Amino acid sequence: MIENHVRLLRAEKRMTQEELAVAVHVTRQTIVALEKGSYSPSLVLAIRIARQFGLSVEEVFILREDE
């Protein structure tokens, strides 16, 4: 399972879901699904989002291994 800090990071930047979606070339619905945890991003999208916040992919997305 992949968890993320997208909602928190977006809030810190006072960025709307729509603004982030436009910046990373996806729909707002994709950002909604990402933030809800019902969608795992492609590597390309994960990199775009991380770059948008000036962070590494690992700082934005966390891989939780099933135990």
pTM score, whole prediction: 0.92
For residue range 34-52, list pLDDT tens digits in order: 999 999 999 999 999 999 9
d(CA 42, CA 24) in angstroms, rounded, equals: 12
Classify residue 41 by burial, with Cβ atoms within 10 Å: 0-12, 13-18, 19+. buried
For residue range 2-16, list pLDDT tens digits in order: 999 999 999 999 999
Residue 67 has pLDDT above 60, yes or no: no
| Span 2-63 CATH architecture | Orthogonal Bundle (1.10)
